[in-house]
Chains A and B, each alone.
Chain A
Amino acid sequence: DQQVKQNSPSLSVQEGRISILNCDYTNSMFDYFLWYKKYPAEGPTFLISISSIKDKNEDGRFTVFLNKSAKHLSLHIVPSQPGDSAVYFCAASDGQNFVFGPGTRLSVLP
């Protein structure tokens, strides 16, 4: 049973437009959420995080929204750039254990 789901395996967006990546979780014990970006043949790199006491966190072009009642979070990238093309993993933590989603491959088209 997947505790963290990313139901869109891939997403294509035009350069300059907004990219929205979604993530759903099932375990109500999760209280911290992270997004990682991964290029081929490299390890994932940390992008942005949010704790359960917040509903929004911004860092430059990246914003993460958390809806605790719906157990849903999303990552918004605006404006999208070709260099953003990568696989994005959502992760959830209860403070000790981390669970990753299966990832969404984002392609930003010039």
Chain B
Amino acid sequence: EAGVTQSPTHLIKTRGQQATLRCSPISGHTSVYWYQQALGLGLQFLLWYDEGEERNRGNFPPRFSGRQFPNYSSELNVNALELEDSALYLCASRRKWAAGDEDNYGYTFGSGTRLTVV
């Protein structure tokens, strides 16, 4: 079973530009989560998509946005890049949640995209 794949693995952008990060979930998984891990910090929740809709977003400005496609893959877009946006961006996927299905709680992470803003 292929895992969660993210592309590109590394991305270098100039301040003010836009970045697009992509995530392909595990086959059969309908939920995609995006997290930011800045240097020395924990995992900060960015966005949650499920069945093509945004279900929740973390405490990030509107220039962080995304979408989920019919095949459940997802894009994260960061507009007007700032130096402090430099971080590891992680995507995770999960099967559709079902009450009582304990095995369904955990999700699987990709290896991340390292975004560097210069």
The interface of chain A, by Cβ under 8 A from chain B, is: 6, 32, 34, 36, 41-46, 49, 51, 89, 93, 95-103
Contact present for B97 and A49 (CB under 8 Å): no
Contact present for B105 and A49 (CB under 8 Å): yes
The interface of chain B, by Cβ under 8 A from chain A, is: 4, 33, 35, 41-43, 45, 48, 55-56, 88, 90, 92, 97, 99, 102, 105-112, 114
A32 to B106, CA, bound (A): 9
Contact present for A97 and B48 (CB under 8 Å): yes
Q: Count A-B contacts at CB 8 Å.
A: 54
A93 to B94, CA, bound (A): 13
Most chain A C-beta atoms within 10 Å of own C-beta, residue among B45, B48, B106, B109: B106
If A42-B112, A43-B92, A98-B33 are given as contacts, then 11 extra A-B residue pairs at C-beta distance below 8 Å, sorted by A number, are A41-B88, A41-B114, A44-B90, A45-B109, A49-B105, A95-B99, A95-B105, A96-B97, A97-B56, A100-B35, A100-B45
Closest 10 CB pairs of A and B: A43-B109, A102-B42, A100-B43, A32-B105, A103-B42, A43-B111, A44-B109, A46-B106, A43-B110, A34-B106
A34 to B43, CA, bound (A): 14
A20 to B101, CA, bound (A): 28
Contact present for B99 and A100 (CB under 8 Å): no
A32 to B107, CA, bound (A): 12
